[in-house]
Amino acid sequence: MKVKKILMVLWPFLLLLSVETLLLFTTVDLAPYSFTFTFLSFFIFVWIQIILHEAGHLVLGWATGYRFLSYRIFSFVIVKENGKLVFKRQAINEAVAQCLMVPHKEWQTTHYPYKLYLSGGILFNAVFSFSALFLLNNEIIPAVQVILFSGIGLFLVFSNAIPKQMNDGAILKKCRGNPAYRQMMYRQLRTIYYLTETRTLKNLPPESFELSKDVSLSDPFSLYVMRLEYYKYLEQFQFDKAANILDKQWQIKEDLTPMDRLMVQAEKLFCLSIQQLSIEEAKRLYHQTEMQLIQKYEQITFKRIFTTYFLYVENDPAKALTWAKAGLLLGNSDIFDNSLQVELNVLEWLQQKAQTKLEQQIVHEERY
């Protein structure tokens, strides 16, 4: 599987390399491998500009009093644990890279330095991109490489500075205009820090689960808080309370992004199944197109949901066991996602339930 993924990424480069190799045996007047070099440079410069962007958050966050927590590029992450820097691998989420800094506990939650920390990535991309343009007339670096490097950097500047969804510009704009939003960002950063200190969800401070009436429930910060509380109750096997939290998200599902809406629909299937209050509604939801599509996803959350559905709705413990075993194989650790351990615990509990139910069915069939 890994070889296939590597080939999927490299095939354009290998194709271009092959074509340019063939051109060496023709009369076409081109510098050898010029297109391949430019193509390769593009991906290298993207990496460099992303690294610079996150370095901007790191440097300006540190300069304004934040403490370092983690620095991630794709799945490679450096995290501070017990005062030491540790290199790890982490599951990639929506952001391809991220630098997380911890605000001081003593800071006021609505009045603290956030502008430079949030805009650090934009500023670093801008400074290095404009500085590179001074190399246009040098005799060492080709002009096309300089323009490519600066162009990629300026693209990152505008794509992050112009407010859109949850980019730096959007978060900065919301923080400037809403003290409650600043407070939620502060609490989220502190919560992530607590979770790296191996605290379970139930031991998080109460403010980690507090919503604000001045921040929309459909906002990603609010969804993060509700997701934490939802998993806190899953961790304690209090499924009724978890369902109550999910109902808040279900009521606003039309205002969510497609991915968030899909996750809410999937968790609704879980709650309907585990509570066994509306079997027919659970079956209708299961047969929706979205639920059929996500069965192909190799994600532990979906394995838990379909384990529950087949165990309690379809009364098929054998199939439930198949889903549970597949999910337990996906239990790779993620340093910032304590919900993964919750997923494993719930799946193991469901697996035991399914195994017991299957054995009871076998005994019943042997008797009759």
Give the residue among 41, 20, 71 at the shortest CA–CA distance from 132: 41
Q: CA 195: distance to chain centroid? A: 16
List, in sequence order, every residue forming a beta bridge with 84; answer none if it has no partner: 81
Q: Give the residue with greater pLDDT, 269 vs 203.
A: 269
Q: What is the pLDDT of residue 89?
A: 75
Q: What is the pLDDT of residue 197?
A: 78
User: CA-to-CA distance for 152 and 125, rounded, in angstroms?
Assistant: 9
Q: What is the pLDDT of residue 87?
A: 85
122 SS3 class: helix
- Alpha-helical segments (H) within the chain: 2-23, 34-63, 115-132, 143-161, 168-177, 179-196, 220-235, 239-251, 258-275, 279-286, 289-293, 300-312, 317-328, 339-367
Give the residue among 304, 306, 311 at the shortest CA–CA distance from 361: 311
pLDDT over threshold 90, residue 81: no
> What would the two tokens of residue 96 be?
């391809």
**How do residues 286-310 score in pLDDT, each as one tens digit?**
999 989 999 888 889 999 999 999 9
Give the residue among 298, 43, 81 at the shortest CA–CA distance from 193: 81
Mean pLDDT of 69-95: 79
What is the percent of the chain where pLDDT is above 70? 86
**Number of residues that make up the chain:** 368
Q: How far from each other are the two terminal CA atoms of the chain, in whole angstroms?
A: 46
The mean of the pLDDT values for the chain is 87
pLDDT band at 100 (very low <50, low <70, confident <90, very high): very high
pLDDT band at 172 (very low <50, low <70, confident <90, very high): very high
> What would the two tokens of residue 78 be?
């450096």
Q: What is the pLDDT of residue 12?
A: 64
Q: Give the pTM.
A: 0.84
Q: What is the pLDDT of residue 37?
A: 74
Phi, psi angles (nearest 5°) of residue 99: -115, 120
Q: At what angle do helices 143-161 and 115-132 cross, to 10 degrees?
A: 160
